[in-house]
Each structure stands twice: as structure tokens, then as C-alpha cells.
Structure 1
Amino acid sequence: MVRLLFALGVVVVILTIYTLVDCALLQHSRVRGLPRWVWIFVIILIPVIGPVLWLLIGRGRTGAGRNGGRIVRSVAPDDDIDFLKGLDRAKSEQEHLRALEQELADLDKEIGTPDSRNPGGPGQTGAGGLEPKKSEPGEGDLPGRRDA
């Protein structure tokens, strides 16, 4: 019998310490019913009932629709303004990328770079579809320098 009473006393002490720490460290918005300091007195002055009341009543639960004391509602993607702005931004980025690709294709056509449909290109010679530069006699590696 003494062992049982000792075990119950240990459980009550552990429960009281746990609820005191929980009450002291819990976010202010989650404390329900009474102010925090009143809950601490209830936990200390009413040994078994105080901690149980704190766990059942005083400690606010985090529900499925709550986020840090703020209610969060789900919004369909077509009603979410941030989502729609992201789509507009993605669409404009895709249009910009298409414009850059078209500009690159136009530049390739101007300098005569062969494309995948016509690998050699009409009348193109040399690497990359460009004609090799013919050097003048006496011209070295550096432009403007003539070897004697």
C-alpha cells in the first residue's frame, strides 16, 4: 500500500511540474478560460484537479483550421490572387523566352549558321558555316603587325 501511495505521489508531482511548465511556456493566444497567472495558482493550489483542469480547459488545442492562433481557410486556385499572379508571371516569362529564342533563330539565319534541317547550308564552307579568314602575306597572329 505504501508503494502505491508513493507511486501516486510521484505521478501527481510529475503531472504538476509538467502542467506548470506547459502553462508557463505556452503561447499567449492558446491560453483559454483564465489568465496565465491564475492558471499557475490553480495548478499549484489544487494538486490533482488543477493540472487536470489545465489540460482539459486551459490549454487551447490546435485545430485543423488554425495556424498560430490565426484561422486559415483553403482557397480554390482560381480564387487565390497570389496563385493567379504567379501564373501571369510564368506566362510572361514563357513569352519572353519565346521571343529570345526567335531572336536567336533570326541571328542564326543572318550569319548563316547551319541548322538541324540543313546541316551544311547552301554554299557554306568551313567550321560553323563561316568561311575561313584569308590572311594576307606577311600578317602574323596579331592584327596590324607585319612580319618583315
Structure 2
Amino acid sequence: MARLLVVGGFLAAIFWIYSVVDCALQPATRHRGVSKGVWVAIVLLIPVLGGILWFVLGRSRPGQSPRGDLYVPLDDDPTHLRRISEAEQDRRIRQLEEELARLDQEGDAPEAGTGTGERS
């Protein structure tokens, strides 16, 4: 019985340390609900339960926005759009327009070595 308590305590300590490190190392954009500092405090002050709350409620999964929605592309993510400057947005738009124009030109030109299939 005492061994079981020691092993359980050891596993709880490992989980608690892992939760604290994971919470502290995640970028602030991956924290749901409250700010990063509050999550770190919750995980530190409520050892095992705080870690469980962090993994269930606080940590957004890969492919999810911090709000918990399904994946939001960067062009539609308001937090990402606020971070990038207008000059960067304009540069990206020009780059995409040039790429589309190039693709349109490539699509209009017939490929070398291919015929229309008609014979005279």
C-alpha cells in the first residue's frame, strides 16, 4: 500500500512538472480562456487538478484557433492580421496577384509537343 502511494505521488509530481513546463513554454496565442500568466499560476498553485484543467480547458490543440474553433486560415485570423503591418499585407497581396497572373499565362499557352488531335 505504501509503495502504491509513493508511485502515485511520484507520477503526480512528474505530471505536475510536465504541466507547468508545457504551460510556460506554449506561446500566449495557444492559451484559451485566460492569459498565460493566470494559467501558469493555476497549474502551479493547484498541482494535479491545475494540470488537468490546463490540458482539458486551457491549451488549444494544433489546428485550432485559440478561441477553440476549428482551424482558421491565417488570412481569416483577426489576431494574425493585427500582428502584420499594412505594408506586409500589401506586399503579400502583390505577390499573390503576380503568382495568379503567371499561372493564368501558363494556363493559356499551349504546351510544346501536344497537338489538338485534329489532322488535315
TM-score range, shorter chain: 0.5 to 0.7
- 2:34 is the counterpart of 1:18: no
Determine which structure has the larger helix proportion and give its number.
2
Q: For residues 85 and 26 of structure 1, do their structure 2 counterparts lie closer, same or farther at Cα, with a shift above 3 Å needed? A: same
* 1:143 alignment counterpart: none
- Structure 1 segments unaligned to the other structure (5+ residues): 72-79, 99-148
Normalising by structure 1, report the TM-score. 0.48
Q: Structure 1, residues 13-37: CA drift from partner, whole Å, max 9, x if none? A: 1111111111111121110111111
- 2:104 is the counterpart of 1:88: yes
Superposition map of 1:1-148 within 5 A: 1-63=1-63, 65-66=71-72, 84-91=100-107, 94=109
Aligned length: 87
- Structure 2 segments unaligned to the other structure (5+ residues): 64-69, 78-95, 113-120
The structure, 1 or 2, with the larger RCO (C-alpha pairs under 8 Å, 6+ apart) is 2
One-letter code aligned to 2:52 = V
Give the share of equivalent positions with the same residue, in percent: 37
Q: Which moved more, 1:21-30 or 1:50-59?
A: 21-30
Q: CA deviation at 1:83?
A: 7.1
One-letter code aligned to 1:37 = G
Structure-1 separation of matches of 2:47 and 2:10: 12
Based on CA coordinates, which of the two structures has the bigger radius of gyration?
1
Task: Please say if residues 19 and 54 of structure 2, whose CA atoms lie closer than 8 Å, have aligned partners that are also in contact.
Answer: yes
